Each structure stands twice: as structure tokens, then as C-alpha cells.
Structure 1
Amino acid sequence: MSASIRTVPALASLRHRNFRLFLGGQFLSVCGTWMQSVAHGWLVLTLTNSALAVGLVTALGALPILLFTLYGGVLADRVNKHRLILILQSLMLCEALALGVLTAFHWVNVAWVIGLAVLFGLLTAFEVPTRQAFVADLVGKEDLMNAIALNSSSFNLSRVIGPAIAGTVIAGIGIAACFFANAVSYIAVIAGLLLMRLPPAAPRTGSDRNEGLGEGFRYIVGSRWPRTLILLTATLSVFGYSFIAMLPVYARDVVKVGA
């Protein structure tokens, strides 16, 4: 018995112009986001001289993501994803710009940092599920797995590049420069979204928000592999990714170096 296996080119999804625009903009934007994450930790450490404060501010910024991401996913299924991402990315640009201005002019304090961190977390809770669902609209089912793989590779590459650039920028220019760089990086995403040629969005119908959440919960609870993957991802997010937020503390107190 023989079975035919379809070979998919490694860059198959890049044949879609809209996805190329999306991937390029997202790579630059996520690099900027990681730069801001590192600079954020340095800023809190500079203001408070407390490792505990760095962790608390990071946790407060992550709280809206924990509470509202499910609602973000439901909303993404019911609205024009392209328009929603444009709005959210524009608001994120304003948040980064505000943080940069406050820092550059020495107007920033812990209350401002916490408020903007919570705002960014709230925007992220709606932007991430919408952005991930938007990929399917750009490439279709045939190239979706390849697009997801490339998107994941881009994210992980930016996680290496972003903090490295942040350290260089903080040491050479200052913390505020990282926030301004992140604000500029959002322009790449917004420009890519505006340049896309998309078919008219079909009218969306379906159950209300609470029913949508209920369907999602029932699927996760009743499906072994999705449930396992979500638990593993949650564990990694809580115990594995926290090191990024604490890098400034580690650099200053353990390695005894600056940015």
C-alpha cells in the first residue's frame, strides 16, 4: 500500500502578497514590543530600585490579558478583523509614544507606568487573538499551516533580536528611545494593513458573546489535545517567559552590569 504525501514549499505562504505585508510589519512591530518590554523593566527598576516592583508592574500589565483574551477571540469572530487590528495597533502606537514622551521629559512616575502597562495589556488581549485569526483570511486553508509556522518563527526571532537591540539602545541613548522605537515600529504594521487588497468582508451572524464563550469552553474541556496544549502554554507563559521582565534586575544585581 502506498500513500502520496503532498510536499509544501517552506515559504509557500509568502506567495500571498497580503501575508508578506503582514509578516514584514509584524516582525518589526514585535521587535519593537520586545524592546519596550526590556526598557519597561529598566524604567521601573530605575524609579523604584525594587525587583518586587518590577514583578508587580509586569503582573498588573499581564492581568488584562488573562481576563479579556477570551472576549477578544469572540470579538474577532464577529467584526472586521482588518479594521479592528488597525484601530488596536494605532492605540498601541499612542501608548508607546506617550510612555516615550513621559520618560524623555522626566514626567513619568510609577502610577503612569502601571496605567499604561494595564492599557497595553488590555489592547493586547484583543489584538493577539484578532491578529492570529486574521492569518487565515490572508492565506486560506491550503497555506495556513505554513503561514502559522512562519509567523511563529518570526515571533521567536524577534524575541532574540528585540531585547539585544534594547540593551544597546538603552546603554547608548536611553530608555525613552526604546519606547519611541516601538512607536515607530507600529507604523510598519499600519502601513502594511493599509496597503492590503482584501475582498469585501462577508456579513457575520451567529450566537451572542456569552454563547460563543460557552462553546469555546466546552470544546476545550471536552477535547484532550487542545486542553493539554493550553495547559502547557499557560505553564510556559507563567514560569518561562517571566525572565524577560526580570532581565534588568538580573543584569544589575547578579551580573553587575548595565543594559
Structure 2
Amino acid sequence: MTLGQYAMMLVIGWQTYDLARTGGMSIEGAAGQLALIGLLQFVPLFLLTPFSGLAADRLDRRKLAQATIMLQFASGAVLAWLTWTNAISLPWLFGIAVVLGVVRAFNGPALSALSPNLVPKAILPTAIALSSISWQVGMIVGPGLGGYLHAIEPSLPYTVATGLFVIAFLALGTIGNVPQPNIVGAAHPIRQMVDGLHYVVKNKMVLGSITLDLFAVFLAGATALFPVYARDILMVGEEGLAQLAMAPAIGAVLTGLFFSYRPLANNVGPAMLLAVAVFGVATITFGLSTSMPLSLAALFVVGAADMFSVYIRQSLVQLHTPDDKRGRVSSVSHLTISASNEGGDFFSGSLAYLLGPVTAVVAGGVGAIVTVALWSRLFPVLRTTKTFDPPPELAKDDL
């Protein structure tokens, strides 16, 4: 699924920027179109996430994820046909972005809430690392597929993505029956959604971990501007665009592999704060670089630091949340992830429109470092957390 997602998203971004530039827009104006793509994905995700978290707690999580994969299949098929017939246009790309926002609203909470039901609690951090590796491998190979296949034939990435979505749909069907959790607390659906949000706000560990990622990645969202750097700053074209997209994922997957064999055991909170700070420094380096090798090296560090942070954050959130609330808490977590990704795309594209792409990226990296300094003060628990061990009231939870 991730292979297909990232192959599609890379080409959607490239086509959006290229159509805008070919149509006579300036670099800043075309960057504004990338900002709009991010906004159109984020708005439906923001509106639907509270309902998607409840759906992940009340419905069959496998079937819910399968439904989102079929929506992606339909989106890929439409884009393949439009590209093949030379009918692709900005309105079509914007419309598909909305559909993908709906998909992401329901897909992430369903799959994240499913994972802890499939493995024993003691090895959940290792399982999360392995799951993250599969995601990061998709992020590595997916953009490569998208960029290089687009260079051969523009419609080919979308065609391949539709086949990958079929495989993903069938793969989810191989998972056996997973018992649905009994939701504790209020019976009314709206009240249940509020209960999930209330738990996040009340648990300072969960709240601090989630919001740290939200603000750091929101501010330092350089990935949305990869088409700008590939076409007009580094001058490396579609193949170079694929390499830029692959570099952070390579760093991330190597980091995930390391933690799958050597799980982190001590000082997990301080390590997460340090990882986000390194993420900010590497983002600044990429923003200032005019050398392709340096840019790739900086993005490698960006991905490695981000994976380090994600590994710790996901483990803490899952282990510090009761099973009956995991779907709703995961939906809040995925809302912040998407706010930082798609919302960050909108922010970075808008800032690039106003100040230029280089200033936008550098300012974002500085913002991530400032966020670390503030969060270490606002959430002291992040500085003092030594292990992944859940509190005593959750330690007895039978996963």
C-alpha cells in the first residue's frame, strides 16, 4: 500500500508543479499550487478524523482498511487514464487530493489500532520498528517507482500503483479474525469521540509526544518543496526528484532496522527530544544546500532522526493507551501526523510563495529546534521518561 501511495503522491506533486510552471506561473506561484494540494488533503482529514477513530474502535479494522485501499485504487485508475489521454489538469489533481485526504483519515487509525492486537505486549516496540520499516521501504521504493516510471511513460506510475493496491487489499484479507475491544465509558458515539480526545489531553506523556511531532514536522516540512528543488534549484529533473524523496526514507529504514534488533531501553524521552533537534538541523542544511550530494546527505539524516523520534513516540503512545481507546487515540495521533505532513505542506508552500523556497525550508528547521526547547519545558515528563514501561494501571492490560 505504501509503495502505491508514495509513487502516486510524488507524481501528483511533480505534475502539479510542472503544469503550473508550464502554464507560465513563477516559482513562487507554482509553489503555492503545492501548498493547495496539501491543504486539500488536510481539510477532509481534519474534519473526518474524530469519526475515523471511533470507526476504528467500533468496526472491523481490517475491512475498514481494505475499503480505504479500494478508494486509492480508484484514484490511481482515474489518474492513469487522465494522464494516458493527456487530459490531466490541476482541477483533477486537486479533486484526487481531496479523496486521498478522506482515505488517510480512515486508513491510519484502523491500521495503527490493529497492530497492538496482533503481537504480545512485550515485543510491541520491536513490532512497531518492523512495521515502520515496511512503511519506510515503501517510502524508499515508492518515489523511485514514481519518478523513474514517469520518465518512461507519465501514466505508468499510476498504473503500477493500482496493481499494488490490489495486492495490499488481498494481503489484509489474510489476517485472521481479531476480537473487537469493548468500549468502556459513555455509549453515545459523540461522547465516545470526546472521551478519546479527553484521554489524550489528560495524559501528558501522550499529549507531549503527539504535539512535539505535530509542531516540529509542521514547521520543517521540506518534502512538499522537493519538486521546486529538483526542477529549479538543484536542476536534477524527475530522476533527481525521486532521489530526493528516497534519501530520507533510506535513513529512516536503516534506523528502523537498527531498533528492530537493538530496541531502545533507556532515556527514551530525552532521546526523542534530541532526535527532533537533529531533524531541525538537518532540515536547515538541506534548505541552504545547492549541491545534490550534500542535499541527499542532509535528507538522509532528516529521515534517520525522524524515524528515531517516530519509533519512540509510537511505542509510548501505544503502550500508554488502553486497548478500548487505541482507535480514538490513534486517530488523534494520525490527525496530528497529517496536520504536520499535509498541513505542513500547505504551510511550507505558502511560506515559499511569500518568502521563497530556501527561506521557507531554513525557517522551518529553526522552528523545529525552537519547538524542542519549548516542549522540554512545557512537558517535563518527556525529559524524565527513561523506559517504555506503561503505568501500573495499564500494565495489566491483556493485549
Shared fold, TM over 0.5: yes
**1:139 counterpart SS class:** coil
Picking from 139, 155, 173, the partner of 1:159 is 139
How far, CA to CA, are the matches of 1:156 and 1:70 in structure 2? Answer: 26
**Counterpart residue number, 2:111:** 131
Listed one character per residue, the Cα deviations across residues 127-167 of structure 1 (whole Å, up to 9, x for unaligned) are 11001111123224344332222111222232233223322
Q: What does 1:1-259 correspond to in 2, within 5 Å? A: 29-49=1-21, 50-174=30-154, 176-198=155-177, 201=179, 207-240=187-220, 242-259=221-238
- 8 A Cα contact 1:79 1:204, kept in partner: no
Q: Per the alignment, do residues 90 and 203 of structure 1 end up closer, same or farther by CA in structure 2, a change over 3 Å counting?
A: same
Q: TM-score, normalised by structure 1?
A: 0.80
Question: Separation in 2 of the partners of 1:227 and 1:75?
Answer: 22
Letter in 1 for 2:205: W
Larger deviation: 95-104 or 190-199? 190-199
Matched residue type, 2:237: G
Structural RMSD (CA): 2.0
Task: Give the aligned residue type for 1:170.
Answer: H
Structure 2 counterpart of 1:88, which letter?
Answer: T
CA contact (8 A) 1:37 1:244 kept: no
Change (3 A) 1:178 1:147: same
Distance 1:90 1:228 in 2: 34
SS at match of 2:4: helix
Separation in 1 of the partners of 2:120 and 2:70?
Answer: 26
Distance 1:100 1:138, change over 3 A: same
Q: How far apart are the structure 1 equivalents of 2:163 and 2:219?
A: 31
Q: Label 1:244 to 1:31 Cα distance change in 2 as closer, same or farther (>3 A).
A: farther
Q: How far 1:203 moved relative to its partner?
A: 8.4
Amino acid across the alignment from 2:171: G
Gaps of at least 5 residues in structure 1 are 1-28
Per the TM alignment, residue 205 of structure 1 is displaced from its structure 2 partner at its CA by 5.8
- Aligned partners of 1:231 and 1:204: how far apart in 2? 28
- Contact 1:171/1:258 (<8 A) preserved: no
Q: Highest relative contact order (Cα 8 Å, sep 6+), 1 or 2?
A: 1
| Distance change in 2, residues 1:140/1:123 (3 Å) | same
Once structures 1 and 2 are overlaid, which stretch shifts more, 151-160 or 94-103?
A: 151-160
Q: 1:171 to 1:151 in 2, by over 3 A?
A: same
Structure 2: gaps of 5 or more residues: 22-29, 239-399
1:67–1:140 distance in 2 versus 1, CA, 3 Å? farther
Deviation of the 1:126 alpha carbon: 0.7
CA distance in 1, matches of 2:99, 2:193: 23
Tell me the amino acid that sits aligned with residue 38 of structure 1. Answer: L
> In terms of mean alpha carbon deviation, does 202-211 or 89-98 score higher?
202-211
The amino acid across from 1:221 in the alignment is V
Q: Distance in 2 between matches of 1:237 and 1:118?
A: 21
User: In 2 relative to 1, CA 89–254 (structure 1 residues): closer, same or farther, beyond 3 Å?
Assistant: same
Counterpart of 2:121, as a letter, is K
Q: Measured at CA, do residues 202 and 153 of structure 1 come closer, stay the same or move farther in structure 2, by a change above 3 Å?
A: closer
Normalized against structure 2, the TM-score is what?
0.53
Deviation at 1:245? 2.6
